[in-house]
């Protein structure tokens, strides 16, 4: 009975590590999307500011 209980805890810890890693990857992906959008917006603003037309 103790062996099964230990394996269950080990599986739960592994699952928690996997979920934590997955959530970190999702957060990193969302931050990357926001950073990419900010860079695109900055490039567009710079293009509009340096345009020849008044």
Could you list the pLDDT tens digit for every one of the 54 residues in the chain? 455 555 566 788 889 999 999 999 999 999 999 999 999 999 999 888 888 776
Considering its fold, how many domains does the chain have in total? 1
Within a domain: 4? no
Within a domain: 49? yes
- What's the pLDDT at 1? 43
Within a domain: 29? yes
Within a domain: 10? no
d(CA 54, CA 34): 30
Measured at the alpha carbon of residue 28, what is the angle toward residues 26 and 29, in degrees to the nearest 5? 65
Within a domain: 15? no
Within a domain: 16? no
User: Can you give the residue range of the structural domain that contains 45?
Assistant: 25-54
Cα 18 to its chain centre, rounded Å, is 14
């Amino acid at each position: 009975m103790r062996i099964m209980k230990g394996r269950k805890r080990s599986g739960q810890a592994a699952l928690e590590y996997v979920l934590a890693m997955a959530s970190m990857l999702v957060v990193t992906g969302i931050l990357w999307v926001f950073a990419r959008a900010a860079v695109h917006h900055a490039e567009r603003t710079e293009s509009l500011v340096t345009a020849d037309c008044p």
